[in-house]
Structures are given as C-alpha cells and as structure tokens.
Chain A
Amino acid sequence: MSADPGPMGGERGAVRGIRIAFGVSVLGAAGFAVVYSVGGNTQLLGVGLGVAFAGLAVGLWLWGRHLLPSGGYVEERPPLSAPPQQRGLLAAAAAGPQSPVRRRGLVGMFGLAFGAIGVAMLFPLRSLLPLRRPDPVTELRRTAWRAGGVRLVTPEGVPVRADDVNSQTIQIVVPEGHPKDGDAPAFVVRLDPDRLTATPAGGLVAGGLVAYSLLCTHAGCPVALYEQTTGRMLCPCHQSAFDLLAGAKPIAGPAARPLPGLPIEVDADGYLRARGDFTAPPGAGFWSRP
C-alpha cells in the first residue's frame, strides 16, 4: 500500500474507473438506440454497440483485477478411477443373473434387428438425388449440347452469328434454352489458322472459329480470362493456363486435361449451331470419366 494511490489507484480509484466504464457502456447503448432510430448508419451502429460492450468488458476487467482476489486457492483433485472393488460391484450389477446381456442369443438377434432397421433407414437417403434423374455418371457425361440444331446463344439469350465472333475477345455461349446449366457454358473465339499447332478437338469452322468448354478441367471454374497475343485461356481460381493454339491443352497450373472441344457449324442463316456434345465430359474429372 503506497501512501498516495492517486485518483485512479487503490480500491476507490478502481471503483471510480469501473463506474466510468459502465457509464460509457450505457452511453454506447443509448447511442446505438438513437442511431438506429434516426436511420441506422452501419458504422455508427457498430461503434455504438462496440463501445457498449467494450465499456462492460473494461469495467468487468478492472473489477476482476482490482477488487477481487486472484490466485492463491487450491482445490483437491480426487483420482478419477474407482477402486477395483467398486468396479467389480458395477460389473456385477451390470452383468448380474437377470441381466439381458447374459442372453447372448437374444442380444445377437436384437443387434441384428437394430442393424437391419439402421440399414433400411439409409435407403431414403437415395432420395437426395431425385429418382427420375439419370444416374450420376450419365448426368456428368452429357450436357445440353447435341447434334441437330442447338444454337449457340450468349448468356443473355442472343443467338451468335459466325460473323459476330472476332479474334480480340472470346464470346461466352450457352445452349439455347439452357442458360443456367452448370456444365454447358462454352466459348467461341476466332483464331488465325496458320498459328495453330494442333487441330482443335471440336473442329475449325468459318475460317478460324473454334469452340471449347468454358470449364477448367481442374476444379470446374470458368476459365474466362483470354490473353489474345498468346492465345491462352487462364483460370482465375487456381491459375491453370490452356493453349488454344495447341488444342487447348494445359500448359501451366494444376489442370491436367485439355478443355473439351465443342463441334460447331454455321447454319443457313449464319448462326452457330452445335454438331454434337463436347468431345469429352466438361469440367472437373471424376472416377468414371472415359
């Protein structure tokens, strides 16, 4: 105990500090209520509530530090395990003469029945995937692209003509009528046929148009970054790069397979149409992928 604890020292000082802190807390709460009532500015609301709780926290901390004893107590810790004799009594009570566990056969049948119910109850889990849908592997393998007239449209639904596609940017396309399909997005771009070092999987039409799946073969992200000078597509998720001049084969990053090509044709009106599905299942790989 020093002679002069100062205005905020000693027990009286601590009480004063705690009182101030709790007072600040009341002000914070009131401020929160007022801010809410006059429009609810998010920053001020946060400050109000933060100050209200911080006041409590500081006050309680001072209380615990200055007004309450810290440490100096000891509690005994009896051993957890009981003496062998007591364990023996428990075992005798649990497995006594009338105990159900003595009837091994019945317990076995009980286990069997219980297990059978458990297994039966697993069946409804199959409903998580609607039964009318095809099995997963079929569903993963095919997309809405098919031969005979599915037009390539922009995500907004505008059909794409061969003349609309330039060499500066890619044109993202989806099958007409399926704008929300997760596996169908593709892109069309015009490439200089002379620069190609490999034949595009989906073929080359209208003097340099190629179409590929937009989905990265690593984890399925749309590879929407096109670098025109090198003819590369980059995936924003894990930085895989695909060389469109070499059949969209992966040249950097974790992707291991080329982007599947989309066979296209130009119809009589100049619109682009699919000639069939992707040359391979699009997007991330899976066990039964051919």
Chain B
Amino acid sequence: MITRRLYRALDSRLGTTSVGRTALAKVFPDHWTFMFGELALYCFIALVLTGTYLTLFFEPSTSEKIYDGAYGPLAGSEVSSAYASTVSLSFDVRAGLLIRQAHHWAALLFVGAIVLHLLRVFFTGAFRRPREINWVIGMTMLALALLNGFTGYSMPDDLLSGTGLRIIYSVVLSIPVVGSWIALLAFGGEFPTDATTPRLYISHVFIVPAIFAALISLHLAIIIRQKHSQFPGPGRNERTVVGSRLWPAYTVRSLSLATGVLAVVFALGGLVQINPVWIYGPFNPAQATSPAQPDWYVAWGDGALRLFPRIEFHVFGHLVPAPFLPAVGLGTVTFMLLYAWPWLERWRTPDRAEHQVLERPRERPWRVAIGAWALTFFAVLLVAAADDIIARLTAMPVTGILRTLQILVCTLPFVVAAVAFGVARALKAGTASSLAELTAEDVRAGLSGADGPGPADEAPDQSIQLWRNPDGTWRWRWSGGGEQLTSNEAYLSRDEAVAAARIAFAGVPIDRADPPEGVILPGPRQEPGWGTRLAAGVVWVALAVWGRRRSKTDDRTEV
C-alpha cells in the first residue's frame, strides 16, 4: 500500500509510467555472447567499488617516509609514501590486501571482457550500420581501459612498475619532433620526478573513470535507442527484436551475472596473489626486476618491443629511436584500423544497408581470416613478452627463442588466417552447424568456392493472432517456422496492437483470435503490479528482487 502511494507520488511528479512500462518490456536477444559487454560493465562496477576503498588508504606521493608497519623486511626503511602506503594497505589494513588484489584481478578481467565483447561484435558484423558510433565509443573505452590499467599498476612506485613507467616514458620520448616535450610535460620533468605519481593518481581515480562513466552511459543509451542486434532465426528480422524481456527474465539473469563477477573477483583477490610489490621492492632508478612482465593487456606492446628488429634511423639529422616503430607505430596503426574497421569494410564491400540481424562469422570468410590473423599476431606478441621466462623454463638461449618468435610472428598469423578462411568457407558451403560436424565434403566444397544454402528465408506459413484479454487489453502473437513469439507488451487498444504488429511483421495477415490458453501474460496496462510500478520509477534493477518479494505477499492478501 505504501509503495503504491509512493509510486503514485513519483509518477505524478516525473511521469514515469510510460517509460517504465517500455523499459520493463524491453526485449533482449537470448544468446550467451551478448553477455560479454555486461560482463565488462560489472567488472567496471567491481573496480569502482574496490578502488574507492583503496583511495582511503593510498597516498599518491613520492615523498620519503619511514615504513613502520607489520611487514618485517621493510620495517624502518625509508621509502616513498606511495610504496609505503601500498605495503601498508596490504599488511596493516585489515581486508586491505583482499580489496587490493580483487581490484587488480577485476582490472585484468575487465579488459578481457572488453576484448571478448569486441570480438563478438567484430565477427558477427554487429558494428555495421547503424552501430558505427557505438563501435567508436567502444574502441575509445578499450583504449581508456588500457590507459587506466597502466596508470593503476604504475602508482605504487615499486620496482616493477617503475621499470614499466620508464619504458613508457622512453616510448613517448621516441615520438618524432614533439616526443621530448610530450614526455617531459606529462611526467613533469625528466624521469623520475615527484610530479608523476600524483598525476597518475588523479588520472586513474577521477579523470579517466569519469570519462569512462560518461562513455558507458552513452554506449548504453545508444543501444537502448537502437535496440539490440540479433542472430538470424524465425521471426528475427530487421524490424523485430526477439528474446526475453528485461523484467523479470533479464533482471534476474543480469543480477546473477553481476554477483557472479563479484564472486570470482573476490575469490581471486583472496586466494591468488597478484602484484606483490613488497617482493619487487621500492623503485630505484639504478635497478630493474628480472624477469619483468607487464599486465597481459599491455604485454603485446612489450612483446613488440622485444621482437622488433633493431631499427633506428635519422630524418633530416634527427633521430627516430628504436621503440618508435614497434610501440608508437604498432599501437597507432592497431587503433586506427580498429576505429576505421566499419568504414574499411564498407569501402571493400557494396554493403551499405542497415543491419539489425547479425551475420554468423562464416558468412564473411575474409573477415574471419583477418580477425584470426590479428588474434594470432597479438597472441605471439603476448607470448614474446615472456621470452625470458620461456628461456628460463626451457633452458634455451633467449636469442634463439627471440628468433623463433620473430619468424612465428611473421608467418603464424598467415597460416592461422588461411585455416580460418578455409574453415569459414567450408562451414558456409556445407550444412554443418558447427566445427565438429564439418565433413571432408564440406571442406572440398569450401575450397572450390561453392556457396551453401545460405540463411533460410522467412517461413511462408507466417501468421499473427490478435486477441483481446478479459481485462480489455490487446496482444498479438506471431507464428512461423515452428516458433511462436508473443508481443512483449499488452496494448490498451486494438489499433496500437495492430500498429506494433505491422511494424514488426509487415504484410503478415492478422487474424482475430480468442485468448490462447497457457500464455503467461504480464500485468495489463492500467494495472501493473504496484511493485513493478515502483521499480519502474526508481532504479528498477536495484529494487527488483525486493519488489517481487513484496508483491507476492500482497497477492495473498488480496485474493
């Protein structure tokens, strides 16, 4: 009763009912690959939560102080405040180490989830018109995630991160003409300076996260406006979205994913050690850790620095140093190509149409080949960043391993791309629905360039039933291809229902029918459950579970 009145008060001030109804009935396509973006979002939330806690204890300063905490080997030594407070929050702040390690693990998973999401979008053609803007926003978020990951692990002023900072400083220095100015402006002088850590800090905890939050909001607003893309199937066309509704199915699934992410992050944070800065020791300009490996998402850059041949040259008497091509050059080219991909593909194919239905990767063997090439290329670079560890484990000379990896990075991507191309062609040509079902015949057909049956056309036996519910609301249901799809909303009038059905399935005849049996109907329009109303008005996802529980007790008293 109280919630009903509260909701009425909110609705009369903000008019939330219409938006709320639409939001609750929003349809999400059912496919597990659509969860990667959400995974990244929940990692971001885990990062904000754990990171906020860490800011309460971390001191972003390199001024010297005596560490006098519980970590014995460091007791009494004079180290920077940043380093001392990091060790302190690991050993002297109760639960501090858990939160710190959970933060680091969440960062690793965050970038991983973004990359998986990127791959899904890439291989299924989800970046095509009208989703190019979100592709660009997503790419910016990937770049910012790499940047923030790097600034994050550079802040503790330990020996490993100091070495990493120095490498980045050298990479920036290598930029022609303006490199020295950019590097010294950014670092506040010649490396190392006391200005650097506070700058890393404000960038890490405020500037980049703020931009990130804005970009996430924009990313989601655009996807809500455009609605989700979907894989082909019965009833899935350019004018529909088929799947489960936000409320209740996806609210519960999504909360499950969010809590699952937190479970993994905290379990890893408690059980698996990461970035033990007390073992690396404080930063010292005359020392380096050995071996020295960065976090995985920047390791490809480090691998490129190791593998790229010794090329330094002069331009008009000025030096272009060795790190320029493998670090600045490769990074720039990678992101330029990624940003430009939707337009590159449009330039090479005649396809300029709007696409709401995704492609299966096999439908574009060339795209599969290029994606496989890039993945292999970066995987080899990532492995190359661990060449010294490989040398140590295999007791082989590091120069031999380097040479091998240099050959691999030039050849393996082409081999993998060719195989991927062939597999995609075979899948496209034959009838196999997955790799395991692939037959020699399919492969032959793929090699000869035959085109398979292609996606099936819309079933000819489509029909739409329209009916009136006992409470006076209207609904419709589409049948075709052996599947039945119910309209996500109940409509107040027949005309509204017909209009929606006409948008979704133009040209399919609409028959008046009796209300079918066994259909689970959501609450009618005028009378959504009051718990639903409240949830719609306020932050509906957060209040969802609670609202549902309350509405059950309410039903019992009313019936």
Contacts and interface: CB of A to CB of B under 8 A. Distances in A.
Interface of A: 36, 39-40, 42-54, 56-61, 63-64, 68-80, 125-126, 128-130, 133, 136-137, 139-140, 155, 172, 174, 180-185, 214, 218-222, 224-225, 235-239, 250, 252-257, 283-289
A254 B501 contact: no
29 contacts: A42-B97, A42-B98, A44-B270, A46-B267, A50-B266, A52-B263, A71-B244, A75-B487, A75-B489, A77-B238, A80-B354, A128-B185, A136-B190, A155-B286, A172-B286, A183-B190, A218-B170, A219-B322, A220-B191, A235-B288, A236-B291, A237-B163, A237-B292, A238-B306, A239-B306, A239-B402, A257-B312, A288-B319, A289-B321
B174 interface: yes
B472 interface: no
Nearest to B22: A75
A239 B95 contact: no
Across chains A and B, which 10 residue pairs bring their CB atoms closest together, nearest first?
Answer: A46-B270, A285-B321, A50-B267, A284-B170, A236-B290, A60-B256, A53-B263, A57-B260, A40-B94, A54-B263
Interface in B499-556: 500-501, 503-504, 520
A140 B190 CA distance: 7
Interface residues of B, number: 109
A155 B284 contact: yes
Interface string B165-177: 0110111011111
Nearest to B266: A49
Nearest to B183: A136
B289 A219 contact: no
Given A45-B270, A57-B257, A180-B192, A252 B171 contact: no
Given A60-B252, A238-B305, A75 B27 contact: yes
A239 B398 contact: yes
A56 B259 contact: yes
A162 B241 CA distance: 80
A145 to B, nearest CB: 14
A249 to B, nearest CB: 11
B243 interface: yes
Contacts of A183: 190-191
Interface of B: 25-27, 30, 94-95, 97-98, 101-102, 130, 163, 166-167, 169-171, 173-181, 183-186, 188-192, 195, 225-227, 235, 238-245, 248-249, 252-253, 255-257, 259-260, 262-264, 266-271, 284-292, 302, 305-306, 308-312, 318-323, 326, 354, 356, 387-388, 398-399, 402, 478, 484-489, 500-501, 503-504, 520
Given A222-B285, A286-B173, A42 B190 contact: no
B185 A129 contact: yes
A60 B503 contact: no
A130 B188 CA distance: 7
Given A42-B97, A140-B190, A75 B244 contact: no
A80 B225 CA distance: 9
Given A77-B504, A239-B402, A254-B310, A219 B305 contact: yes
B322 A75 contact: no
Nearest to A284: B170
Given A185-B286, A286-B174, A71 B478 contact: no
B267 A60 contact: no
Contacts of B504: 74-77
Contacts of B388: 236, 239
B249 A68 contact: yes
Nearest to B402: A239
A256 B288 contact: no
A267 to B, nearest CB: 23
A77 B267 contact: no
Given A53-B262, A71-B244, A46 B269 contact: yes
B180 to A, nearest CB: 4
A46 B98 contact: yes
Given A70-B249, A284-B174, A285-B173, A222 B486 contact: no
Contacts of B191: 182-183, 220
Contacts of A130: 188-189
Contacts of A256: 310-312, 321-322
B300 to A, nearest CB: 14
A254 B356 contact: no
Nearest to B545: A60
Given A42-B97, A220-B166, A252-B399, 4 more contacts: A43-B271, A74-B504, A140-B190, A285-B173
Contact of B244 (A48, A69, A253, A285): A69
A60 B501 CA distance: 33
A222 B288 contact: yes
B95 A180 contact: no
B252 A129 contact: no
B259 A64 contact: no
Contacts of B321: 256, 284-286, 289
B181 A254 contact: no
B318 A49 contact: no
A43 B26 CA distance: 41
A60 B286 contact: no
Contacts of A250: 310
A44 to B, nearest CB: 7
Nearest to A62: B256
Given A77-B356, A284-B174, A286-B321, A61 B256 contact: yes
Contacts of B98: 42, 45-46, 49
Contacts of A58: 256
Contacts of A221: 163, 166-167, 288, 292
B239 A76 contact: yes
Contacts of B267: 46-47, 49-50, 54
B95 A36 contact: yes
B270 A47 contact: yes
Given A72-B486, A74-B504, A220-B169, A285 B181 contact: no
B288 A73 contact: no
Nearest to A235: B288
A232 B500 CA distance: 77
B226 to A, nearest CB: 7
Contacts of B326: 254
Contacts of A70: 30, 244, 249
B287 A222 contact: yes
B288 A74 contact: no
Contacts of B188: 128-130
B285 A182 contact: yes
A42 B273 CA distance: 10
A75 B286 contact: no
B130 A64 contact: no
